[in-house]
Amino acid sequence: MTHPSPRPSGRPLVVAHRGSSASAPENTLAAFEAALRAGADLLELDVRLDGDGVPVVLHDETLDRTTDRSGAVADLPSSAVRAADAGAWFSPAFAGQRVPTLREVVDLVALHGSGGLLVEFKGTWSPAAVAGAVATLRTAGVAGRSVVQSFEVETVAALRDVAPDVRRALLVLTPGSPPAPGALGQSLRDLAHDPFTALSTPVGQARAEAGRAVADLGVVAVNPYVGGLVASPHVVAEYHAAGVATYPWTVDEPRLWADLLRHGVDGIITDDPGRLRGFLDAREVRSSQDEALEDRRLLTLAATRQGAPATGLTPV
């Protein structure tokens, strides 16, 4: 099993956080379509079950923040979830966008023909529940270009047992936080209390934790909050030494993009995939120009030393 790799040029993957959520309402078909058109390599999305057991794409436990309705998704029938307007809160231009099902997003990716999925399973899922979601990926033919992930070790273990051939990742708040039931909530409290200490990872700890995740869960990537890599950039090399890729979340600042690139991350999860794609394209152009200038400099130097005209042309 291999982890999703950067493009042949060595550039990191562009991962669209809840779609192109800087330009469209998060986790809607409009956001995912925009991300694909912007050239995102992977669409990151959140999946949870509604009251009828249908996998729907929504980050929060409730409809309150991103729709015109309220209530816990797990307690609502599919008809109620589908009736909610998931776009007007972002802009009147997106009024009428709905909470999509996983099937709808998968079909969009399959129809587009390029791009893959980074599917986060929210909360704890049973093997039977994840089996249905993974079957949706398989039926549409996109399982091979998808990665499934969760903060919950139990859910990643269920994905391992049900679909060992589908690539898996472990989400963590900080690189050194050991995966354990309820660890995320405690980590968030620690982060709020003492950010510097919570985000710092002692040398060797990230590699050890990633190694255990590989051995126990068969993950191909460990994806931390970007603050953990900023505080402890040595973590990227430790993850690679443990045999996993890393896609930090959520990164929207060019200054941080440049810093992460220097440390060799394999992908960047961002709200603005079009802008990140442009940033990477511009770096490649600049790199090519720099190489051409260096080649010209060396050619001129060689010609000068040989007593030839410094034009790079053979004299007649």
**Of 81-85, 184-188, 283-287, where does mean pLDDT reach its minimum?**
184-188
Q: What is the mean pLDDT of residues 100-114?
A: 96
pTM metric for this prediction: 0.88
Q: Which residue has the higher pLDDT, 302 or 263?
A: 263
pLDDT tens profile 32-43: 999 999 999 999
Are the C-beta atoms of 200 and 148 separated by less than 8 Å? no
How many beta carbons lie within 10 A of that of residue 225, not counting itself? 23
**pLDDT on residue 187:** 73
Question: Which three-class secondary structure string do you get for 7-72?
Answer: CCCCCCEEEEECCCCCCCCCCCHHHHHHHHHCCCCEEEEEEEECCCCCEEECCCCECCCCCCCCCE
Say whether pLDDT at 165 is over 90: yes
β-strands 42-49, 55-57 pairing: antiparallel
Read off the pLDDT band of 4 (50, 70, 90): low
**pLDDT on residue 99:** 98
Say whether pLDDT at 73 is over 70: yes
**pLDDT on residue 1:** 37
**pLDDT on residue 7:** 47
| CATH number of the domain that residue 89 is part of | 3.20.20.190
Residue 203 belongs to a domain: yes
| Cα 21 from Cα 136, distance rounded (Å) | 24
Q: What is the mean pLDDT of residues 251-268?
A: 97
Residue 3 belongs to a domain: no
Q: Which residue has the higher pLDDT, 61 or 284?
A: 61
Produce one character per residue of 78-107: b if its CB has 16 or more CB atoms within 10 Å, e if not: eebbbebbbbebbeeebeebbbbbbbbbbb
Q: What percent of the chain has pLDDT over 70?
A: 84
**pLDDT on residue 296:** 63
The whole-chain average pLDDT of the chain stands at 89
| Cα 77 from Cα 159, distance rounded (Å) | 25
Read off the pLDDT band of 98 (50, 70, 90): very high
Q: What is the mean pLDDT of residues 70-78?
A: 98
**pLDDT on residue 2:** 43
Residue 2 belongs to a domain: no
Give the structural domain span for 65. Answer: 13-305
| Cα 147 from Cα 78, distance rounded (Å) | 26
What total of structural domains would you count in the chain?
A: 1
pLDDT tens profile 282-301: 998 766 566 556 556 655 66
**pLDDT on residue 311:** 44
Read off the pLDDT band of 122 (50, 70, 90): very high
Say whether pLDDT at 8 is over 60: no
Task: Give bridge partners of residue 247 from the DSSP assignment.
Answer: none
**Of 8-12, 96-100, 155-159, where does mean pLDDT reach its minimum?**
8-12
Say whether pLDDT at 132 is over 90: yes
Are the C-beta atoms of 149 and 169 separated by less than 8 Å? yes
| Cα 236 from Cα 127, distance rounded (Å) | 31
As to burial, measured by CB atoms within 10 angstroms (0-12 exposed, 13-18 middle, 19+ buried), residue 303 is middle
Residue 4 belongs to a domain: no
Say whether pLDDT at 91 is over 90: yes
Q: What is the DSSP secondary-structure string of 219-276? A: -SEEEEBHHHHHH-THHHHHHHHTT-B---B----HHHHHHHHHHT-SEEEES-HHHH
Helix or strand run (H / E) with residue 148: strand 146-150
pLDDT tens profile 20-60: 999 999 999 999 999 999 999 999 999 999 999 999 999 99
**pLDDT on residue 307:** 58
Q: What is the mean pLDDT of residues 100-127?
A: 96
Collapsing DSSP to helix, strand or coil, 199 comes out as helix
